[in-house]
């Protein structure tokens, strides 16, 4: 069965590339992916595969029914782009000014569409059912996953698999991790309210810039002196704004930043501790403040059995040359929500461009992938979906016959 799937995927590789390049030329931002969603839905309709659009927004869900009994396996791909100007010199460069697929979601979509087509062609031999989840708005919290789940995309699903094409790792590499693999990603905003005045008379003011500067340093002590070193965490101030003239002491300064954690207790502690530090810092300068903390995606936590299954499946894919356990990544992913509802695993598929002089990271204006990685991703996901069926069947207790 898997050999037949591999053959079909290989014969459809050029179609996979064509789909990816079309999507790369026509990117759409999070929550605005109407044309992309329509493209995906039309693809399934032409194949006469059951499909539903507008799932939780712009999401699309297709279902393939094997002729033999079995479990229901879900595979997910995202399809939104980023507000970045494409600077690559390639024929498939984005045609939309200021918008590009700079994270590989076009490749994820092409991978899943062609995998679905090949599974559909093998449906007479398949065990169980297969749910293809095409998710919108992964890049922008609150994301599309949570709304798609609320709209029923996981109903009846027993397990879910997902991958991210990872352009900083060589093609042929599969990276996995049991437990937390990607961090919870939160956002905070702090406004320091002081009292402005003349730059030559600081004693008559409450300098918001000085207070905010002290605060940036004080916040770092939460990680270095308040969080157990065993529990990884990050506090980053990414924006510091206080607009005034050179000879005016600012009465207001705004800090915007992010918190990344893996442990929910640490996450809650940092949320409260930031405000305690803000309050104390402002007390020393007799200033006031405004503080907001927005929780983003939770941590992506892989389930052990499903991750071990993924490792075994990756070993069967001829193009996979190396399988390694990766360090947990501080970047976020709303695949986390699926894993809170059903068992499954999320992994990285190496997609480093082999002919590139320089490799560009995700979210870079010159980001690109090795398109051969899509074929590896499709084979690995397909193998996991098929093998899960046989493992579950063999693990079910035998029914004793009575005489």
Q: Catalytic amino acids?
A: 80, 138
Annotated binding-site residue? 101: no
Residues 6+ apart with CB under 8 A from 75: 112, 115, 130, 131, 132, 133, 160, 161, 162, 381, 385
Give the span between the Cα atoms of 134 and 96, in whole angstroms. Answer: 22
Annotated binding-site residue? 108: no
Question: Is residue 213 within 8 Å of 158, Cβ to Cβ?
Answer: no
Annotated binding-site residue? 103: yes
Annotated binding-site residue? 105: yes
Provide the 10 A C-beta neighbour count for residue 188. Answer: 21
Give the span between the Cα atoms of 228 and 233, in whole angstroms. Answer: 9
Residue linked to tokens 């007390």: 283
Structure tokens at 376: 């590896």
Annotated binding-site residue? 271: no
Give the span between the Cα atoms of 73 and 133, in whole angstroms. Answer: 10
- Numbered residues of the known binding site: 103, 105, 139, 164, 363
- Numbered residues of the known binding site for Mn(2+): 103, 105, 139, 164, 363
């Amino acid at each position: 069965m898997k050999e037949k799937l591999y053959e079909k995927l290989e014969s459809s590789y050029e179609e996979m590339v064509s789909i990816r390049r079309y999507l790369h030329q026509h990117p759409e931002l999070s929550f605005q992916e109407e044309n992309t969603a329509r493209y995906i839905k039309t693809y399934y309709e032409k194949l006469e595969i059951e499909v539903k659009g507008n799932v939780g927004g712009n999401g699309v869900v297709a279902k393939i029914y094997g002729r033999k009994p079995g479990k229901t396996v879900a595979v997910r791909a995202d399809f939104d782009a980023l507000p970045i100007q494409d600077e690559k010199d390639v024929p498939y460069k984005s045609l939309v000014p200021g918008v590009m697929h700079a994270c590989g979601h076009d490749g994820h979509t092409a991978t899943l569409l062609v995998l679905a087509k090949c599974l559909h062609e093998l449906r007479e031999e398949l065990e169980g059912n297969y749910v293809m989840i095409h998710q919108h708005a992964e890049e922008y919290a609150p994301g599309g996953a949570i709304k798609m789940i609320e709209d029923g995309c996981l109903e009846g699903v027993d397990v879910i698999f997902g991958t991210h094409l990872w352009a900083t790792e060589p093609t042929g590499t599969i990276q996995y991790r049991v437990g937390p693999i990607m961090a919870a990603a939160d956002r905070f905003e702090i406004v320091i309210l002081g009292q402005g005045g003349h730059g030559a008379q600081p004693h008559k003011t409450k300098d918001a810039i000085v207070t905010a500067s002290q605060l940036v340093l004080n916040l770092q002590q939460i990680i270095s002196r308040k969080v157990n070193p065993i529990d990884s965490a990050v506090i980053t101030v990414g924006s510091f704004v206080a607009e005034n003239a050179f000879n005016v002491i600012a009465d207001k300064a705004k800090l915007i930043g992010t918190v990344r954690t893996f442990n929910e207790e640490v996450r809650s502690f940092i949320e409260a501790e930031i405000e305690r530090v803000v309050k104390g810092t402002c007390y020393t300068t007799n200033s006031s403040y405004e503080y907001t903390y927005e929780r983003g995606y939770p941590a992506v936590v892989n389930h052990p059995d499903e991750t071990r299954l993924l490792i075994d499946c990756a070993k069967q894919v001829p193009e996979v040359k190396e399988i390694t356990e990766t360090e947990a990544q501080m970047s976020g992913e709303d695949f986390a929500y699926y894993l809170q509802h059903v068992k499954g695993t999320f992994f990285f598929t190496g997609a480093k461009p082999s002919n590139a002089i320089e490799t560009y990271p995700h979210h870079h204006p010159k980001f690109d992938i090795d398109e051969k990685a899509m074929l590896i991703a499709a084979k690995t996901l397909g193998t996991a979906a098929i093998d899960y069926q046989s493992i579950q069947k063999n693990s079910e207790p035998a029914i004793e016959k009575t005489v």
